[in-house]
Structure 1
Amino acid sequence: MIPPELRTVNVTRYVTPLREGGSLPAIVDGDDDFPYVLKFRGAGQGRKALIAELIGGELARGLGLRVPELVFMELDDSFSKTEPDEEIQDLLKFSVGLNLGLHYLAGAITYDPLVSVATPLEASLVVLLDAVITNIDRTVRNPNLLNWKKELWLIDHGASLYFHHAWTDWEAHAHRPFPAIKDHVLLPKATELPAAAAQLRSRLTPDFVATVVELLPDDWLVDAGNPQLPAAKRQVYTQYLTIRLAQLDALTKAAENAR
């Protein structure tokens, strides 16, 4: 498997906010002439949402699922100085530095269980991955899935790995079941869970997980409320995910029972 790697792109133009998102992501242009959906470090859950987005997205890609390309995006302070909207101005000001962008899929439509495509194996892989990363935000109300060119694409993993908002009991949290799986939008189509579990085991090895976690920038891991060094925090993320993957049989059985 090719090790994951993220490019770094500079924001050249702020195009428009996506106001349906609570954290006010925006469509921006990069200096590579591509449009991106920019997730801001200064919004809502801030850098922890970016951490969850990066880890969830790259683990999904490692499984062969479709995820828009993730890139690091450098934002300078010039954008806040020319923005007339005070809310967006503050967001831009607090997000100067390294943010996260997803390649913008122009023309994509939101997943609709009644008409959208998702093969049984794809659905099963997404269900089990979300159980591993504790993604509570893949429901009928808010699927965070797109159909683009008649294919299923995954977006927005920022609500995953919610243990890191408390952090102190991460190991106990890693051993907990994931009852929210019963509300997963793809669960009715997830009829190949055992095959999906085998794919998770073969692809999301401890080495691959560690390689994904190693992508996290140091300054996303600096937190005034947690004095641990970035290297120690990366180790926690790696251990947490390794523990979750070791419980794949139980997570698979829970998903099967929920179906």
Structure 2
Amino acid sequence: MEDHQQTDIRTVEVTRYVTPLREGGSLPAIAEADDGFLYVLKFRGAGQGVKALIAELIGGEIARALGLKVPEIVFAQLDAAFGRTEPDEEIQDLLKASVGLNLALHYLSGAITYDPTVTTIEPATASKIVWVDCLLTNVDRTARNTNMLMWRRELWLIDHGASLYFHHSGLNWQEPAKRPFVQVKDHVLLPQATALEAADAACRQVLTPALIRRIVSLLPDAWFPEEQAAAHREVYYNFLTTRIANSEVFVNEAQHARKALI
């Protein structure tokens, strides 16, 4: 099955905490699951809580739907007894606060951070990545922190947790959905994104309301206040479909930002 045809999310049980990834502000970790694979585990008890996991899941699955390379995303169940033997107090507190359903990405062993001075990305792919980051309002794809990996000579996207930042200010989605993404000026791939109009047409064709509904429906009830899951999913659906329908706003902003680079 091709990556962009994934239709559901597997659930794994975390069996072993391997090592923290301290370059991440929320202390993600490499962990082993009951299927024998290693994952980069994102914790619900970290600073941004489940909202970062929501952004990670929505952002990753939208990128995958557009044919971009994203490591497999899984739900990761963390047992209450898991952190009791952890000697590091900070990590133990994080594990205790993250009991239940977390999120994890398949660990790409041997992958290296994308370096724009070493690898040039062809314009169609660069434009599609810039487009999707504008859609998601992803502020975390800069030269300082690309959140992209080279693995087996292919470019992989990771860490969409800083996306959809409107949800950190309540559930008001109407105005943010139509706002230009001014931070695109700092996007590491903007200089190579010379095919934004073509990317816009292609992405809009794929990201139908039905597909957005399916992706949003993946969000588990456990990540929302009791009996509020449906209402919260509707907010994300409305934000994304409205933003896609008004994509010329963020495409124009990206094009203006590109011209300013020249």
Judge same fold: TM > 0.5, yes or no. Answer: yes
Aligned to 2:80: 77
**1:120-165 Cα distance to aligned partner (Å, 9 max, x none):** 1111011010111111111111110111111110000001001111
Contact 1:117 1:151 in 2 (8 A): no
Contact 2:40 2:105 in 1 (8 A): yes
Letter in 2 for 1:185: V
Letter in 1 for 2:176: H
Letter in 2 for 1:20: E
Would you say 1:102 and 2:105 are equivalent positions? yes
Aligned to 2:146: 143
Q: Partners in 1 of 2:75 and 2:257 — Cα distance?
A: 37
What SS does the aligned partner of 1:160 have? coil
What SS does the aligned partner of 2:82 have? helix
Contact 2:179 2:249 in 1 (8 A): no
Aligned to 2:57: 54
Contact 2:179 2:250 in 1 (8 A): no
What SS does the aligned partner of 1:33 have? coil
Letter in 1 for 2:221: D
Aligned to 2:210: 207
* Displacement of 1:169: 2.7
User: Where do 1:147-158 residues align within 5 Å?
Assistant: 147-158=150-161
Letter in 2 for 1:65: L
* Displacement of 1:2: 3.9
User: Where do 1:159-198 residues align within 5 Å?
Assistant: 159-198=162-201
Aligned to 2:94: 91
* Displacement of 1:3: 5.9
Letter in 2 for 1:43: A
Aligned to 1:219: 222
- TM score, norm. by length of structure 1: 0.95
What SS does the aligned partner of 2:83 have? helix
Q: Partners in 2 of 1:149 and 1:77 — Cα distance?
A: 37
Letter in 2 for 1:49: A
* Uncovered stretches (5+) of structure 2, i.e. residues with no partner: none
Q: Partners in 1 of 2:199 and 2:134 — Cα distance?
A: 12
Q: Partners in 1 of 2:172 and 2:10 — Cα distance?
A: 33
Q: Partners in 2 of 1:82 and 1:182 — Cα distance?
A: 46
Choose which of 62, 71, 86 in structure 2 pairs with 1:68: 71
Aligned to 1:126: 129
Q: Partners in 1 of 2:187 and 2:212 — Cα distance?
A: 24
Choose which of 48, 60, 67 in structure 2 pairs with 1:45: 48
* Displacement of 1:80: 1.0
Instruction: Count how many residue pairs are aligned between Structure 1 and Structure 2.
Output: 255
Letter in 2 for 1:246: A
* Displacement of 1:202: 1.0
* Uncovered stretches (5+) of structure 1, i.e. residues with no partner: none
**1:86-114 Cα distance to aligned partner (Å, 9 max, x none):** 00000000001000010000111111111
Q: Which moved more, 1:113-122 or 1:231-240?
A: 113-122
* Displacement of 1:50: 0.1
Q: Partners in 2 of 1:5 and 1:132 — Cα distance?
A: 22
Contact 1:117 1:152 in 2 (8 A): no
Aligned to 2:27: 24
Contact 1:73 1:99 in 2 (8 A): yes
Letter in 1 for 2:238: Q
Q: Which moved more, 1:24-33 or 1:167-176?
A: 167-176
Q: Partners in 2 of 1:169 and 1:78 — Cα distance?
A: 38
What SS does the aligned partner of 1:81 have? coil
Contact 1:36 1:104 in 2 (8 A): yes
RMSD over aligned CA atoms reads 1.3
Q: Partners in 1 of 2:135 and 2:76 — Cα distance?
A: 27
